[in-house]
Chains A and B, each alone.
Chain A
Amino acid sequence: MLELFRQFALELKASGINLTILYDAFDFERFVSGLATTCALVVLCTFFSILIGAAGATVLGLSRGPAAMLVCAYVALIRNTPLLVQMYFFYFAVGSLMPVGQNAIGLPVPMIGNFTWAVIALSLYAGAFNVETFRSGIGAVHGSYEEAALALGYSRFKAFRYVVAPLGLRFSFASLANNLVDLTKATTVAYAIGVAELLYVSNQIWSDSLNTFEMMNVMLAIYLLLTGIVVWIIGRAQRAMRLPGFGVN
């Protein structure tokens, strides 16, 4: 099977399409590890950004105090500054303040590596948009549902937890899909701080093998596939949570 692939790739090369990643073991390995890094970024940042979004929207849904103001400030800051600048800020500015360890031969190594910084920056970035998404989903839940819960003895927190938030989540899916597609594409920005994700390794490959055109097409196809998977998964979740007989979804 693999041999067939190799054969096919070599034939392609003969006809002028040089996909080194299909027949060259070194390029193949680089490529796969870059793809794995990108997938890891997407999965981790999706997870943390949804947590951040849910936590932020909960604070906004339940309080008007300083905690809510803090969340608003965070959202405003992230939404109104470029992601690349945020990434640099975390890696170079915050990173330089972090404690430094030593490796086996006594050289300094940062305790928090560039991959971790990328996860932090991207999670905070997508998290801010998710806060807005969940907040507006919750805002779309009619007050009468909370009232019915309060009349049944639920506290405001419990009413939020069991009634308002589950309903608000269902109003959030379309916008959440947008944010997560955006996040998937935004993982390429991790390139800027040297994370060996898909764009980074592809750049290495086309620099070595001079097959820029081919690699560009491969990348476009891969990101299309990744965003497609993200949208599909969210669609599944949305269908699983649809409200039978209710106008929404």
Chain B
Amino acid sequence: MRTEIEGRDLVSLKGVHKAFGSFEVLRGVELGVAKGEVAAIIGPSGSGKSTILRTINGLTPVDHGVIQLGDITVTDPKVDKVALRHRVGMVFQQYNLFPHKTVLENVAMAPIQVLKEPRKDVEERARNLLAGMRLTEKALAYPGELSGGQQQRVAIARALCMQPEVILFDEVTAALDPEMVKEVLSAVRKVAEDGMTCILVTHEMRFAREAANRVFFTDKGVIVEQGEPKAFFANPQDPRTKEFLDKVL
């Protein structure tokens, strides 16, 4: 199945290099994700997982390499940032909701202020998304009044409200208490099942195995190994992957 869509990836990174000062964080990352796919990126801390995500929406500029998102060349210095970020949403580990705005405003403000969509339409969409996240009654609450799990679900709704083609999830459950991890993971899963292309960095191996179509393993700034989750977890090829999986499973 994978081979027939090769070369027609929605998101592709080719030979991506990035250094902070003299420290090379990404050393030739190759990665492709097709439309509708759910890709999980796993790997040791500091291996560059977050940096990979941040290069895809242009938050971190790269030194070399090409990143393509559909017909947008992310690595083009003249890239239209608004168009790019309209098409790629991002959900952060620390939620990063705006504390001075209500939940509804958090979800609706970017489409209104950035995309200039009519407020009425956006708010209706935002309310529907909040309902989908089971947060209807929290629309007028402020982020500080919600639990971590609720805040993260608002952050997912906020990303969805931009109607992106791809959503990047960066360890979205890492800051949560165990009982809230489940509710957020099922929200992510719902987004994926609705056909959204998802790239998620996660430490939840079980989730990666169950929800992803494809798993990428990063180590020291390169993608060491990738594959379908079943084969990947059952029979890792690279010794570095084996070592990592032995530690975390």
Q: Which residues of A contact B (CB under 8 A)?
A: 144-145, 147-155, 158, 162-163, 166-167, 170, 241, 243-246
Contact = CB atoms under 8 A, between A and B. Distances in A.
Interface stretch (B21-29, B78-86, B226-234): B78-86
Interface extent on B, as a size class? 20 to 34
Given A151-B89, A152-B158, A158-B114, 9 more contacts: A144-B96, A148-B97, A149-B110, A150-B85, A152-B85, A153-B162, A154-B113, A167-B100, A243-B142
Interface of B: 57, 59, 81-82, 85-86, 89-90, 92, 94, 96-100, 109-110, 113-115, 141-146, 158, 162
A147 B53 CA distance: 13
Given A152-B158, A153-B110, A154-B113, A163 B81 contact: no
B82 A153 contact: yes
Contacts of B141: 244
B118 to A, nearest CB: 17
A134 to B, nearest CB: 16
A144 B144 CA distance: 16
B86 A145 contact: no
Contact of B113 (A144, A162, A167, A245): A162
B142 A244 contact: yes
Contacts of A158: 113-114
Contacts of A152: 85, 89, 110, 114, 158, 162
Contact of B115 (A144, A148, A153, A167): A153
B100 A243 contact: yes
A92 B57 CA distance: 57
Contacts of B59: 147, 150-151
Nearest to B86: A153
B90 A151 contact: yes
B144 A243 contact: yes
Nearest to B141: A244
Nearest to A248: B99
A164 to B, nearest CB: 10
B114 A153 contact: yes
A170 B100 contact: yes
Contacts of B115: 153
B82 A243 contact: no
A170 B142 CA distance: 15
From A145, A147, A148, residue with most partner B Cβ within 10 Å:
A148
Given A148-B98, A158-B113, A163-B98, A246 B142 contact: yes
A162 B112 CA distance: 12
B94 A144 contact: yes
Contacts of A149: 98, 110
A243 to B, nearest CB: 5
A166 B114 CA distance: 17
The 6 A-B residue pairs whose C-beta atoms are closest, nearest first, are A245-B144, A148-B96, A152-B110, A153-B85, A246-B144, A245-B145
A147 B109 CA distance: 15
A99 B145 CA distance: 59
A143 to B, nearest CB: 10
Contacts of B97: 148
Contacts of A144: 92, 94, 96
A146 B96 CA distance: 9
28 contacts: A144-B96, A145-B96, A145-B98, A147-B92, A147-B96, A148-B96, A148-B97, A148-B98, A149-B110, A150-B59, A151-B57, A151-B89, A152-B114, A153-B110, A154-B113, A154-B114, A158-B113, A158-B114, A162-B109, A163-B98, A167-B100, A243-B142, A243-B144, A244-B141, A244-B142, A245-B142, A245-B146, A246-B99
A166 B101 CA distance: 10
